[in-house]
Every structure is written in C-alpha cells, then in structure tokens.
Structure 1
Amino acid sequence: MSQAREQLTRWAPALPALIVSAVGLTDLAGAGDMIWLPLLAAGPALAATTNRPRGVLCVGVLAAALGMLLSTRDAVPGDELAVVLSALVAVTLASGLASALRGRRERVLAAVRSVAETAQHALLKPVPATVGPFQVAVRYSAAAAEARIGGDLYALIATPYGVRLIVGDVRGKGLPAVGTAALVLGVFREAAWDEPDLLAVVDRIERSLARNLGADDFVTAVVAGYPGAGRLEMVNCGHAPPLLVRRSVGATVVEPVEPAHPAPPLGLRALTGHTPGLQVLPFADGDQLLLYTDGVTEARDRGRAFYPLHEGLARHASEEPARTLDALHDELLAHVGGRLHDDAALLLIRKPVLPVIAR
C-alpha cells in the first residue's frame, strides 16, 4: 500500500501533461466528428494540485500549442479558437495562483510541524529502551495529527529513590491542555527527584495545579514508583486502572490494578477533601505493567464497539515491550479505521528475568 502511494506521488506531477496529451489524441481519433478542445483546460486546472506555478505554466503552454494545432486540423473558426485560448489562459493563470497559495500553505504547515515536533520532544521527552531495571516502550498518538502533541502526558525517570513514572490525561484539548500537561510534567520531574515519599510527589503536583488551574479543570493520572525489593508503589488519581501482566503456568494473565484507595483527579482534591493513599503491589522478574489513557480504551470501530485492550494485551504480550506496543498500536489503528479521534498514550514497563548463573 505504501509503495503504491509513493509511486502515485512520484508520477502525479506528470498527470496533467498526460491528460492534455490524451485529449489531443482523442480529438485526432475522432476524425473531426467532435471538437474536444475545451477539455484541454483540465490539464492546467489539475496541475494546480500537483505542480508548482512553473509546472502549471508549462502545462498551460502545452495545452495552448496543442489547441492551436488541433484547431487548424479541425478547421475551427477563428472566433471559437479565440474563446478556447482565452479560457486556457484564464484557467492557467488562476491555477498558477492556486498553486502558489498551496505551496505557501505547505511551507507554513511544514514550519508548524517542525515547531510541534520540537515542542513534543521538550514536553514528552523520548524514553530510552531501558530505565533502571526496566525494559520500557512508549507509543503516543495525538488526535490532531498536524499538531503531533495533545493533552495526554507521560514521563519515566530514574531517581535516587528508584524509577518513578506518570501517565495522565488532561481534561480538554488544544493549547490549554498542552500547557497543563507541561505544568504537570515539569512539577513531576522536579518532585520525583527531590521527594523520598511518592505521596509527597503527588502532593506537589496537586498544590501546583490548585494554584494554576480553573475550577473545572483537572488531570487524571497514575503515579508509580519502584523503590526496589520487588515491590511497586502506585497512586491512582481518577485514572483508568493499569494492567498487570504475569506469566502463570505457561499462560499470560492480565489483571487490572484497581485502586485500593480511590482518589479524585489531580486539581480536585480541595473540592472533595479526600487525600490519596499509597498502594503497594509485588512486582517480580518477568512482570509487566501497562499504563494508558482513555483514548485507547474509548476508541470505537464503525459499529461503535470499544477497543478491547485487555484481550489485545493478552494476545500480544511478549518479552519485548516495543514489539508488544507495536502490535497493540497497529491493532488499535485497524480497529478505528486508521484515525484516532482522541489522544492516546501507551507506556509499558517490564522487569526482565535475570539469567541464572550456573555454579
């Protein structure tokens, strides 16, 4: 499919000239029974979508020259020829202008994409394949494909207190959501390095959001830490439960990690007065944890059926997180027909099995 698209893109600039030539050949084959000259204007009109202004002009000149040649053969009256040539000139000029405007828009879009990619790398920094004791993989898709960034957020860093990570979803879309995501990630990266207690990290984020967010704004998030000794700490603030993957008697078992101490989303604690609690669960060699945003679980197909992430993870779980997420992401896009309608983030960590050293 991609090769066919590349071939079509490569030959597209020549298509207007081929159309002009086809009109000329059709006129010649008609033995003068029908005049096809007005259709020559289709060449420069189509060239506006595939060529630069110079290419449009060349197609227009080719169409005009061919029109004069065919009019002589077909004995077209001079006034009719003048009308045809005038139409060709008008279409060529209009198409050249449209081509110039299209080129300008493409350059602006390329600049916007460049800025968006730079902002994405600053906001959602690339996560290495290995962080601390974990194998790691991340997949992120913004619903606004041209923007490349959205309101979903993730980060995973090694700190003096072990590996710490966050996956969250900002209420709303657009630039305000991106700004809130940047605020959360900035506070998390600083607090995760400074605070020995994971709950203190969450408190720092909560206080910052309370000062900067509006009354109706909030962020759902899961903040987790691995202080070592085979245990994982987790605080779930109104977010979808992560999925824990374990091997059991040769089978893959996927279990949702429901919050033992449910907490409101970040930014809403003052309205509820409820403080989050720390949830601790064992995390042994070979275990995996998938954190995600609702853009994944709320993705629907044409029949309005949700994407079954639980079943998909059980099918595609492997010893390589990158391969697992590649399969999940491809299946997710196939489920929705190729285009997501909400931002979607997937972050998978795996504690590799240490090799047994024979004595």
Structure 2
Amino acid sequence: MSRAAAILPFVFTAVVSVIAVAAGPGLRWLSMLAAAPSLAAARHGPRTVVAFGVFSIVLGVLLGERSGSPSVAFQAPVLSGVAVVTVVSAWLSALRQRRERELVAVRSVAEAAQEAILAPVPEEVGPLRLSVHYTAAATEATVGGDLYGVVQTPYGPRALVADVRGKGLQAVSTAALVLGVFREAAYDEPDLLRVVQRMEHSLRRNLEGDDFVTAVLTGFPCPGQLQVVNCGHVLPLLVHRRTVCALEPSSPVPPLGLLDLADAEPTLDTVDFAPGDRLLLYTDGVTEARDDTGTFFPLDEQLQKHCADPFDSTLDVLHEELLQHNGGRLDDDAALLLIERPGV
C-alpha cells in the first residue's frame, strides 16, 4: 500500500499529460496538474513535493505552448493555483513527517513499557518447560488487559494468567498492578492462598467502580504436585496420558476485586502432575472467539488433537487454528501459557 502511494504522483502526472495531449488544443486538463504535489505529500517529504510542483508548472507551460495558448496571462491563474497547492502540500508533508517521528518515539517508549509489564517467559523454570503466546486485540499494542507471569520461588515455580475487565490504557495499568503484586507476593508467601489475598487487597484499594480481574494461579511446590486457585477465570486444561480434562474449582468464587461480595473463600485445589503431563492456562479471548456462524473456538477439542505434538510447536498450531476460526483477527486479547513436566 505504501509503495502504491509513493508512485501514485508519477502515474497521475503521466496520465494527465497523455490525456492533455490526446484531447487536442485547450487547457481544460491543465488544472489537474495541481493534484500531483498534493498526492506526493501523502508519502514523500517536502523537497519531493516541491519538485513535483515545479515539474507540474513546467509541464503546464509546455502543454500550454503545445495547445496554441502560450499566453502567460491565460496560463497564470491555473499555474498559480498549482504553485499554491505545492506550497500548502509541502507544509502538510513537513507536518506529517514531524508527527510520524513523534509517533515512532511514543511507540518505542510504549513497547519498552509493555515489555516491562509482560516480561519474556523463560523456556524452563525449575523442572518445568514453558511456552507462551500472546495476542493483543489492538493492532497498535503488544499488551492489553490479558496478562501472564511465571516466577521461581523458594516454594517452587508459580504461574499466573489473568484477564482484566475492559481494554485500553486503564486495563494495561491494572494488568501492571496485578503482575507487580503477584511477582512480589508469590516469592514471599509460602501459601498460594495468601498470594491471592494480597492481590485482592491491592485491587480493592485501586480498582474503580465495578472493575474486576479474573485470575488463575498455579503452584508446583514439589515434583508431581499441582496447586490451583481459580478466581472466576476460565478453567485450566490438564493433559494427562493424552487426555484433556478441565480443572474445576472445588468452590467457585468471583473474580479478584469482587471477593468481598462472596460468602465462600477461594480454595486451593491439588492434583497430580505426572511426568509428561501438560497444563494449559488461557484467557476467554481464546474460547470466546467465534467463526462466521457464531460458533465458539473449541479449545479443548483442538488441544486434544495436538496433545501429542512436540511441546515447542503446540501453541503455534493452536494460535494459527484460532485465527483461522475467527477470520484472521481477534476481537479480544488472547493469552496462552502451556506448562509441561517433561517425561523421564
């Protein structure tokens, strides 16, 4: 698209010249030459815009002479219009370039901030292998309201996947808050439920209105053991002996930020995590993606199809199938975190 915009002024000038010559005597096509510098302003710099303007004026004089109307008085109004358009277009081109430089600077700062929020996940943490795939719904962003985090602690590896209600800068700000509290509390607190409590207290002080955060926290305190605390989040999927099952909480509770409204406290569920098992944590941007018929993406079925695939390629395949299901673009942020305990 940008290449087409770059060559469009050349093509337009050539077309106008051919039409003017083929139309015979008269200057009725001469005023169209003013479009060349204005088209150039969309893609080129001020110097190139001025060059197009000068070329258009010279070409107009030559076409006027060829048409038998070389009178300066006759051509002056039209060519003056070309000159005015050239000056204005050059100014707009300079303004566009300045704003583009500012946008590049802002985006570089934003990308650095986004990378600080969602730090890269290592390929291995303790005895576990990790793989992550994240897609923000906003094309100009690399992070949104979905978040993930993995930390190695004195109590074993711990992981978080969460989904902040809403989108935009407010969601990113809340995501940064959640991750900050999780990374600190996960390292300090021996009990995973205490990590959840600290996150809840922090969110209760900082969230506004009816905002909330769905979250699932997992811990691996010792080989073969998986701890899960689910606060209103979509169900993690456990792959055991090539069979996929959803891990339902023994006592469902609302999302973080709303726990004070519930009678029940979050519960810590413990399941076996044998060699070769995999755990998939994700957000509802994955399971709520719809195709043209309104059908949701069947994540559990697709994971079942690929549960024997190589670990490193599983999320890439799932993400590709997700995009195909949703027509190539997601309407919501989507995070996938796959954890495996390698077989012996």
User: TM-score, structure 2 length as denominator?
Assistant: 0.91
- CA offset at residue 156 of structure 1? 0.7
What CA distance in whole angstroms lies between the structure 2 residues aligned with 1:331 and 1:82? 62
Whether 1:65 and 2:58 are equivalent positions in the alignment is yes
Aligned to 2:109: 115
- Secondary structure at the aligned position of 1:224 is classed as strand
Whether 1:207 and 2:197 are equivalent positions in the alignment is no
Whether the 8 Å CA contact 2:20–2:29 is kept in 1: the answer is: yes
Kindly provide the amino acid, as one letter, of the partner of residue 56 in structure 2. Answer: A
Kindly provide the amino acid, as one letter, of the partner of residue 26 in structure 1. Answer: I
Judging changes above 3 Å, is the alpha-carbon distance between structure 1 residues 111 and 134 closer, same or farther for their aligned structure 2 residues? same
- CA offset at residue 330 of structure 1? 2.5
What CA distance in whole angstroms lies between the structure 1 residues aligned with 2:327 and 2:179? 31
Whether 1:328 and 2:305 are equivalent positions in the alignment is no
- Secondary structure at the aligned position of 1:227 is classed as coil
Aligned to 1:128: 122
What CA distance in whole angstroms lies between the structure 1 residues aligned with 2:57 and 2:143? 48
Matches for 1:76-87 after TM superposition, within 5 Å? 76=69, 78=71, 79-87=73-81
Aligned pair partner of 1:44 in 28, 33, 37: 37
Judging changes above 3 Å, is the alpha-carbon distance between structure 1 residues 50 and 175 closer, same or farther for their aligned structure 2 residues? same
Extract unaligned runs of 5+ from structure 1. 1-7, 355-359
Aligned to 2:17: 24
* Greater displacement, 276-285 / 253-262: 253-262
Aligned pair partner of 1:260 in 250, 264, 267: 250
What CA distance in whole angstroms lies between the structure 1 residues aligned with 2:273 and 2:74? 84
Aligned pair partner of 1:271 in 261, 264, 268: 261
What CA distance in whole angstroms lies between the structure 2 residues aligned with 1:308 and 1:328? 10
Aligned pair partner of 1:232 in 215, 223, 226: 226
Aligned to 1:5: none
Whether the 8 Å CA contact 2:253–2:262 is kept in 1: the answer is: no
Aligned to 2:279: 289
What CA distance in whole angstroms lies between the structure 2 residues aligned with 1:290 and 1:29? 68
Whether the 8 Å CA contact 1:116–1:149 is kept in 2: the answer is: no
What CA distance in whole angstroms lies between the structure 2 residues aligned with 1:76 and 1:320? 77
Kindly provide the amino acid, as one letter, of the partner of residue 149 in structure 2. Answer: A
Whether the 8 Å CA contact 2:249–2:267 is kept in 1: the answer is: no
Whether the 8 Å CA contact 1:261–1:278 is kept in 2: the answer is: no
What CA distance in whole angstroms lies between the structure 1 residues aligned with 2:324 and 2:90? 39
What CA distance in whole angstroms lies between the structure 1 residues aligned with 2:316 and 2:135? 12
Whether the 8 Å CA contact 1:167–1:293 is kept in 2: the answer is: yes
- CA offset at residue 111 of structure 1? 1.8
- Secondary structure at the aligned position of 1:49 is classed as coil
User: TM-score, structure 1 length as denominator?
Assistant: 0.88
Aligned to 2:157: 163
Kindly provide the amino acid, as one letter, of the partner of residue 262 in structure 2. Answer: T
- CA offset at residue 322 of structure 1? 3.9
Whether the 8 Å CA contact 1:264–1:274 is kept in 2: the answer is: no
- CA offset at residue 30 of structure 1? 4.2
Extract unaligned runs of 5+ from structure 2. none
Q: Over aligned residues, Cα RMSD in angstroms?
A: 2.2
Whether 1:308 and 2:298 are equivalent positions in the alignment is yes
How many residues are paired up? 343
- CA offset at residue 304 of structure 1? 3.3
Whether the 8 Å CA contact 1:233–1:281 is kept in 2: the answer is: yes
- Secondary structure at the aligned position of 1:235 is classed as strand
Kindly provide the amino acid, as one letter, of the partner of residue 169 in structure 1. Answer: D
Kindly provide the amino acid, as one letter, of the partner of residue 45 in structure 1. Answer: S
What CA distance in whole angstroms lies between the structure 1 residues aligned with 2:293 and 2:84? 48
- CA offset at residue 317 of structure 1? 4.0
